[in-house]
Chains A and B, each alone.
Chain A
Amino acid sequence: MSTFFRGPVCGTDNCRSRLWRIIDGRRTCQYGHVMDGDVEFNDDEDNINSMGVVTRRLNLTTNATGSFRASSQSQTLGQSNPAEFTKTYGPEGDRLFLKCFQHVLRLQCGWLVQHEHFPPVFPHVVKLLWARLLPAVHNDDNHAGTGVPTATRTRPPGRYRLSLLSSVCLLHMAGTHLRLPVFWFDYLRWMCNLQLPYFKAGLHLPAVWRRQLPNYYLQLLEGGKVPAEGQFYHKLARTCRAVQPPSFFSRAVALEPLLLKLLLALRLPPQPLFFHVLDLVQRIRQNTSAEPFPGDELPERDLLHLQPELGAVACLIVTLRFRLLQGEDKFLTRYCAGWLLANAGDLVTQLSSTTSTSTASLAATDQYLEWLETRFLPASTRGGGGGGDESTEPGSQPRSIDQRIADRKLHALFPLERVGVSSAAPAPAPAPAPASTSDVRDAYRAICQDAAAANVAGDAEELASRVETQLVIWTCPLLAITEAQMRRCIEHAYRCAGPA
């Protein structure tokens, strides 16, 4: 630094120095006098590139949590992502969507085989169906594109008319073919419990795909709302038509297990009802001579009763009413009086489709919070905030290390109460399956106790109608259809059963 150079005599306070140097851009003499009005600018154009060495300042500051962090500019320059915009559109995007859809389908099959002990052949059947659906989807697309251009313009995102519900339809069809005793309400329960990959299925996709997939397709894979208005059956009919299953394809829904499951789910006594309902279903089929399998040529609306599942439910309700009106079976009357006091149905499935809370009791709240902690939270924070992995939150930027540290500190302030438990046993008891036998037994026992105490002196007709109303209220969330739709099905069943 001691690079003095000669200059004029300083002269301040008779200073005799001729030697100057530059300190902080000011010309200062040997004895420390600053020359007036002399400021030196460094306006040489330093050619940085020619100097060979590029220095970059790392602005290390301490952040909130006390650790060092690089200030955003200097650090992000280095790791700037080369392609800012990674979405793929057009045919490529469509292809990617199909790929993603397939991936979700495979995940669903995998889960079913692994956790619900579906036969290993199940994925193959689903694959077959998917393979048959694909060309139909493409043709549909092309037809719509050429023939009816307006139709495509109204709904551009659902270009393929595929939604996650289609995947469940495929699963359902495959299950029907294999005559598995699994029905729509089972799938619905698994969906709402976030066991079957359905809601937020996008989170299960590989990060690369998710980054590339256009947003409208990502939205499709979000799952949206619970299909609580019978969308499933409409979708099923449409998918069936598109797939056009081959002749060897089994089309009959396994009625007996369906009925048994329904009765058990509704906590109704199987013994006095089962065969009567079966009888009624057969009779209606003869009367209407409808195709038993979900509709080859099912029109769009109002014909939900042709769906065998819904038909069976309607028959069940009608049968119960008839039996109650007959009044022959004293046990049934007594039981139903008790049954009216009990409660059935899966909590989460009910809560997923409605928005009212305030009536939730204390016990239900605890149960619900438990579910949120064990199921909902891990499922919805999947991929994001996990810490180890680079965040793949849709729509948001990957979180910086600072944000993750801050989050970790926050979470340390608010630990989940059950954190220790869940980490000790990664797979806690499988979600309270409502079919766990002891639960069902207890429920039945409770109802029987109520029934013993119940007063059965009342009017049979009143009891019947009350039971019917209650049944409608409970079956609607179970099957994810509206009450009006359910009523229509029941009316149809009455009409068909009438003449016989």
Chain B
Amino acid sequence: MFELPTTLNNNRIRTVRKLRYQYINALHREFGKIRDTLSPNTTLPTPENSAAEEASDADLDRDSVSERLKRKRRRRRLMSVLGHAGSDSELSDVEAEEYSVDTHSHQHRFHHDSEKEFYGRHEKPQDTFEIWNTSRSKATPMDSKTISYAECRHIEQSAQRRMASKNAHIPQSAKLHYAAMKNGHEIFSQPSLAYYDTHLQRLNELLHLNIMTNRWESAYRCFSILLRLPGVDIRSMWGAGVRILRELSASNKNIGTSQDFLGWLSSIYTSKSNFNHSMNRSLDPVFRSGSKTHSAKFVIAWMWESLIACCTESDSSYAERYSKVNNRLPALIEKLSEMVLVPPYMEDSEVWFIYAMCHLISADQLSERFSHEDEKSSGLEKDIARNQVIQHITKTHNCIKACLAKNDDFRFPHRVIQEQLASFEKRLYHDQNSDVFPSNSDTTGEEGSEILSHELDTQEFLAPDVSSFVGEDDDEDFFGRSERVHFGFDSDSSSS
């Protein structure tokens, strides 16, 4: 019923996959022969491709496809008259032709990987799995040229012939699977009935059913057994584990927290390792792992979790709040600042956004502390504190700018954040210009400021709808003012 979190890998799967790519490549090559005159440069000009094209071009220059077919047929008939078996000559014909092409391109054909050849022509799956071109401007017109049915069948047949000559000795089961796949069927593999697999399946089902019915204790037991079994890949079920831990870790002190688990995942399965086509072919890369171009989902989840943990923990009590400010959030910020230096996270707008959020929250906390300790501190201390807040605010601006520059459809309420930042700045100067900002005028008392801080706390940006409904011009006004305030005070504080 549910997908097993194991990695299935056997000889047949490997063989069938190899056959598939061989077949696709053969099809492509045959198709190229027909269509070459129409669209010459479909592939990148690698030496291999150009060699292949030269060979086929040479053929095509001499005569068209139909001519060639006719010639071949005539030759075959001649051969049969002479007493050679028809299929034999045909095979040798195809083989010889292919061989000549290959010897041109490859001196050594031992490690020729047809899958690599296929992926050389295409975008890699990890590049494509999240691309959804919705904008009409990016749409390209479809290639609307058609080929006739006879041509298509011819392509298929000749590709098939090529394949047959190459793979005379594959096992029967692989052959059947390949034939089914070629005809467009999908093979339903029966769940294994072996003793071990039966129990594994049952355990997996129990895990999912228990999660669905919110029986977390049982789900935890299932999960803890499941991850100890050999052959189970934790990356296929980390989501369930995080959910279970989130439910249970508060009550049970023996087990780890979901943050720990995500941290473990992120440190064990780094995205620095290459995404290996030849190994991970049957697995979905999206939620399992990161690559050089995509940050792993569990890393993102980990960042969010630890960010939220920072916030909630510092909210726990009023007195703790000040002591905790210096504790975990700076560590997270430091970690993020290291992360955004390396490729997958450098290009990920979500990571940048989290980074911005970290700065925003620390600006919030620091500015609030500033407004509380206003009376006690001397002028110099005040300046230092003010500088800190300003620094965080500018960093937030920078991160958001970086986030916006990534341009990959990551949306967030930009205006709300701007407003927040502006209000944090106002806090710093409320006693000086209390008449300018009447809302903050009464925050000298602790009670009022606490309420205010809760109002201004980070939950607010989670409701973007409110800000989007605010009139456009009003926002502009606010935005402009905040800019002015920002620069004014920045220079002010630096000069003093």
Q: For the complex, what is the distance from the CA of A406 to the CA of B255, rounded to whole Å?
A: 16
Instruction: Map CB proximity to A onto B219-232 as digits: 1 under 8 Å, 0 otherwise.
Output: 01111110111100
Does A369 lie at the interface of the complex (its beta carbon under 8 Å from any beta carbon of B)?
yes
Question: When the two chains form their complex, are residues A413 and B261 in contact, meaning their CB atoms are under 8 A apart?
Answer: yes
Chain B residue numbers with a CB within 8 Å of A415 are: 224, 254-255
Does A410 lie at the interface of the complex (its beta carbon under 8 Å from any beta carbon of B)?
yes
Chain A residue numbers with a CB within 8 Å of B193 are: 225-226, 355
A372 partner, pick from B203, B245, B267, B270, beta carbons under 8 A: B203
Q: Which of A329-383 contact B (CB under 8 A)?
A: 351-355, 357-358, 360, 365-366, 368-369, 372-373, 376-377, 380-381
Chain A residue numbers with a CB within 8 Å of B201 are: 355
Question: When the two chains form their complex, are residues B206 and A365 in contact, meaning their CB atoms are under 8 A apart?
Answer: yes
Q: For the complex, what is the distance from the CA of A373 to the CA of B466, rounded to whole Å?
A: 52
A381 partner, pick from B194, B209, B228, B268, beta carbons under 8 A: B228
Does B198 lie at the interface of the complex (its beta carbon under 8 Å from any beta carbon of A)?
yes
Tell me whether A369 and B194 are in contact in the complex, defined as CB-CB below 8 angstroms, given that A380-B229, A385-B230, A410-B227 are known contacts.
Answer: no
Q: Which of A406-439 contact B (CB under 8 A)?
A: 406, 409-417
Question: When the two chains form their complex, are residues A414 and B202 in contact, meaning their CB atoms are under 8 A apart?
Answer: no
Does A64 lie at the interface of the complex (its beta carbon under 8 Å from any beta carbon of B)?
yes
Q: Is the interface of B mostly helix, strand, loop or mixed?
A: helix
Question: When the two chains form their complex, are residues A406 and B225 in contact, meaning their CB atoms are under 8 A apart?
Answer: no
Interface size class of A (residues with CB under 8 A): 35 or more
Does B205 lie at the interface of the complex (its beta carbon under 8 Å from any beta carbon of A)?
yes
Chain A residue numbers with a CB within 8 Å of B268 are: 64, 406
Q: For the complex, what is the distance from the CA of A415 to the CA of B241, rounded to whole Å?
A: 13
Chain A residue numbers with a CB within 8 Å of B228 are: 377, 381, 385, 411, 416
B13 to chain A, nearest CB (A): 15
A414 partner, pick from B1, B195, B255, beta carbons under 8 A: B255
Tell me whether A393 and B218 are in contact in the complex, defined as CB-CB below 8 angstroms, given that A65-B267, A226-B195, A372-B203 are known contacts.
Answer: no
A443 to chain B, nearest CB (A): 25
Q: For the complex, what is the distance from the CA of A352 to the CA of B245, rounded to whole Å?
A: 30
Does B99 lie at the interface of the complex (its beta carbon under 8 Å from any beta carbon of A)?
no
Chain B residue numbers with a CB within 8 Å of A372 are: 199, 203, 225
Question: When the two chains form their complex, are residues B206 and A225 in contact, meaning their CB atoms are under 8 A apart?
Answer: no
Does B191 lie at the interface of the complex (its beta carbon under 8 Å from any beta carbon of A)?
yes
Does B402 lie at the interface of the complex (its beta carbon under 8 Å from any beta carbon of A)?
no
Chain B residue numbers with a CB within 8 Å of A377 are: 225, 228-229
Does B413 lie at the interface of the complex (its beta carbon under 8 Å from any beta carbon of A)?
no
Chain B residue numbers with a CB within 8 Å of A410 are: 227, 234, 264
> Closest chain B residue to A379 by CB distance?
B196
Q: For the complex, what is the distance from the CA of A336 to the CA of B423, rounded to whole Å?
A: 81
A416 partner, pick from B202, B225, B230, beta carbons under 8 A: B225
Chain B residue numbers with a CB within 8 Å of A64 are: 264, 267-268, 270
Tell me whether A380 and B196 are in contact in the complex, defined as CB-CB below 8 angstroms, given that A64-B268, A373-B221, A417-B224 are known contacts.
Answer: yes
Tell me whether A414 and B224 are in contact in the complex, defined as CB-CB below 8 angstroms, given that A357-B206, A381-B230 are known contacts.
Answer: yes
> Closest chain A residue to B204 by CB distance?
A357
Question: When the two chains form their complex, are residues A358 and B195 in contact, meaning their CB atoms are under 8 A apart?
Answer: no
Chain B residue numbers with a CB within 8 Å of A226 are: 193, 195, 198
Q: Which of B217-263 contact A (CB under 8 A)?
A: 218, 220-225, 227-230, 234, 241, 245, 254-256, 260-261
> Closest chain A residue to B266 by CB distance?
A64
B454 to chain A, nearest CB (A): 34
A198 to chain B, nearest CB (A): 9
Instruction: Map CB proximity to B onto A180-223 as digits: 1 under 8 Å, 0 otherwise.
Output: 00000000000010000001100000000000000000000011
